[in-house]
Amino acid sequence: MELYNIKERNEQVSFAQAIKQGLGRQQGLFFPMTLPEFALTEDRRVAGNGFRRTQRAHPVGLYR
């Protein structure tokens, strides 16, 4: 995956290099050159595996 520095578009690095380097020149963040496209059927399949309702969790000690 190729990434570019959002502050300096001419700085392009691999994913591995971005991990090692952290930030780009001028403290710019690295962003993917292209984003994958998801079909509507994939979105529905992923949404179908979402969270199920269970008992609500209460922060410990907040209401005592």
Residue extents of the structural domains in the chain: 1-34
pTM of the full structure: 0.56
39: which residues sit within 8 A by CB, 6+ positions away? none
In this prediction, residues 23-46 reach a mean pLDDT of 81
In this prediction, residues 23-51 reach a mean pLDDT of 78
CB-based burial of residue 18 (10 Å sphere; 0-12 exposed, 13-18 middle, 19+ buried)? Answer: buried
- The pLDDT > 70 percentage for the chain reads 59
Q: Which CATH superfamily hosts domain 1-34?
A: Threonine synthase, N-terminal domain (3.90.1380.10)
H runs (alpha helix) in 1-64 = 15-21, 40-48
Whole-angstrom CA distances from 22 to 30, 42, 54, 64 are 8, 32, 39, 44
